[in-house]
Structure 1
Amino acid sequence: MAEFYQGFAFEHDAQNRLTVEGNPVEAESARAYIDSSQELRARERERAEHLRILRDGKAAWNQWRREHPEVHPMLAAHDFTERDADIVLDGYDFSYTNFTQANLRGMRLRDANFHQAILARADLAGAHLEGSNFCRTDFYETNFEGARLTGANLQGVQLARTNLTRAHLRGCTVYGLSAWDVKLDDADQSGLRIHYDELVGGQRIERQATVDGIDVASFMYLTLNNANIARIIDATTSKWVLLLGRFQVHKDVLDELATALEERDFIPVVFDFERARERDLVESIILLAGLSRLVVVDITDPKSTPMELLAIVPNLSVPVVPIMRAGTSPFGVFSGILKFPWVHRPPIEYENPQQLIGELEPLLAATSPDVAGGGA
């Protein structure tokens, strides 16, 4: 994981060697190396010159950018809130500009051009960025909390550990973006636009679809091409293991079972999240079960799963493994479920998570993504 200091990114590579901006360095401390480096001195001189042009106003800055397209402006680690908070940066051309660790909180940057800029670890909380162009911009650990990005172009941006809490994203264009570990709590993600081309009668026609969530945009784009749907189903049914039951009561069981599944290259899916608005509880579970390679269901609590099992088992030939705490009994109609050959019988009784994982081991091995066929 990258760390930042003085606008530089540094990390340890696979051989545990220290690298600064991707270049190996012979030093034990990245901060000490950066503080004494000629690169830092050069950046400070470059930043001072570029800030001087910036403060001359938008016309001067944009003219300079047109005359020197080969220059990548250096504004990394600059705190705009200390001296430049009153500058209105609407419409500035910041393409290819390095804003790593810059403080731009609350700044006015409407309709600015950030094409292929670097905003890693920059702070733009509360900033006004409506209509700005961020095509192919680096948003690694960028803070956009409460920022206003309505109608911005987010095509091809790299979102990784980006904070978009309470951000205003309505109407943004999102084609081609990647999103990993993004914080989206209370963000307005309505009407996100996906522009794409469709081949019709030998001609490419531009189409548009809208979604209401950055985290689902890539998935929804894949489904626009029917040829991808079979690949999506194959991918999920080779990896997902659906876990059903009152795991909030037995959290230790859930945690250790999920870890064991991940170690065996499965993806545990725990049904403890907010239910879908367009599907009721049972419909949501049936949908997830149909996309799973295996369903593990805890029947210890007779109130938690009979309805779900009665909906899943007769209609889907997905391997189902019932588990239960030692000393408990299955619910009354459970015997009717055992007539289906894809239900493991008898239920696996367990006293602790370690024993349960040991009992499940042969079944997980038989349904491993690396084993052809599978089955319970």
Structure 2
Amino acid sequence: MANAEHVAIVRDGKAALDAWRAENPDTQLDLRIADLKGLDLAGIDLRDSDLRGAVLSDARLTRGNFARADLRSADFTGADLYGATLAQAQMATTILRNVNLFWADLKQSNMQEAILQWSRLNRALFLSTDLTGADCSQTTAIEVDLRSANLTDSNWQGANLNGADVSRAVMQGADFTNAKIRDSMWIMTDMRGANFNKASLHRCDMTMGKWDDTTNFPPGFDPTRIENRVDDY
């Protein structure tokens, strides 16, 4: 269970927490299973905190700092995480359904089996993030940065990935059925076993990518065609 004092300090807002951190620089916040839903915590500093199972649904968390925090199984449904920092966070099985992650930094985070369905990931940074088994279906991920990410067995059905950079990512078994994918970079991406059934693929640069008979491209799509290469956007 959460530390009641820690929960009260966070509920008091950013200024109160900043003052507490100045006096307790080495103390980890214990916010396990804390109820923080609906709060205005814009700019809150929760880096390195333990938020396992915490409820932050519908909270305003714009530009908040969750770097290296333990967010496993936390519930962010409907939260606003615009510009938030979640780099190197533990986010396995975290619920991020219908969340605003526009411009958020999630690089090198562990997001195995996280739920991001219906979320807005425009221009978010997932550099080297582990999204194995994550549900990213119906997301809007325009110009998202997924370079070197692990997308193995992830679900991107119906997602909008226009302008995305997926270079050097691994996506065996990933499902892009009905996804919109145009003007995007897939250079040196491992697409073996990926499913692009009924996806709209246009101007997707797959130079030096890997695919084989287990890759399901839409009928008529040739990843080697020169017109699919994108020199600039």
TM-score band w.r.t. shorter chain: 0.5 to 0.7
SS of equivalent residue, structure 2 residue 136 = strand
Distance in 2, Cα, partners of 1:102 & 1:175: 26
Q: Any conservation in 2 of the 1:174–1:217 contact (CA below 8 Å)?
A: no
* Percent identity (aligned): 17
Gap regions ≥5 residues in structure 1: 1-45, 66-70, 197-210, 241-268, 280-286, 292-376
Partners in 2 of 1:216 and 1:162 — Cα distance? 22
Note the C-alpha offset of 1:100. Answer: 0.2
Higher strand content, 1 or 2: 1
Question: How far, CA to CA, are the matches of 1:185 and 1:112 in structure 2?
Answer: 26
Structure 2 length-normalised TM: 0.61
Aligned to 1:126: 83
User: Does structure 1 residue 181 correspond to structure 2 residue 138?
Assistant: yes
The answer to whether structure 1 residue 106 and structure 2 residue 63 are counterparts is yes
In 2: Cα distance, 1:117 partner to 1:289 partner: 40
Q: Which runs of structure 2 are paired with 1:94-243 in the superposition (5 Å)?
A: 94-193=51-150, 212=166, 217=171, 219-220=173-174
- Indicate if the aligned counterparts of 2:151 and 2:170 stay in contact, CA closer than 8 A: no
Instruction: Write the distance in 2 (CA, Å) between the matches of 1:53 and 1:159.
Output: 25
Q: Deviations over 1:179-231 (max 9, x none)?
A: 211111011111002589xxxxxxxxxxxxxx928x9946349xx9x9xx6xx
Counterparts of 1:152 and 1:181, CA distance in 2: 21
1:277 is the counterpart of 2:205: yes
Contact map agreement 2:60 2:81 (CA 8 A) in 1:
yes
Structure 1 distance, partners of 2:110, 2:128, is 9
Correspondence 1:72 to 2:16: no
Q: Deviations over 1:137-172 (max 9, x none)?
A: 001101110111111111110111011101111110
Quote how far apart the aligned CAs of 1:52 are. 2.5
Question: Could you say what secondary structure the match of 1:52 adopts?
Answer: helix
Structure 1 residues 145 and 48 mapped into 2: Cα distance closer, same or farther (>3 Å)?
A: farther
Structure with the larger helix share: 1
Root mean square deviation of aligned Cα? 3.8
Residue in 2 aligned with 1:91? 48
**Number of residue pairs matched by the alignment:** 174
Cα displacement (A) at 1:121: 0.6
Q: Between Structure 1 and Structure 2, whose CA radius of gyration is higher?
A: 1
Residue in 2 that maps onto 1:288? 218
Taking structure 1 as reference, are residues 290 and 53 closer, same or farther at Cα in structure 2, changes over 3 Å only? closer
Residue identity opposite 1:88 in structure 2: D
RCO greater where, 1 or 2, for CA within 8 Å and sep 6 or more?
2
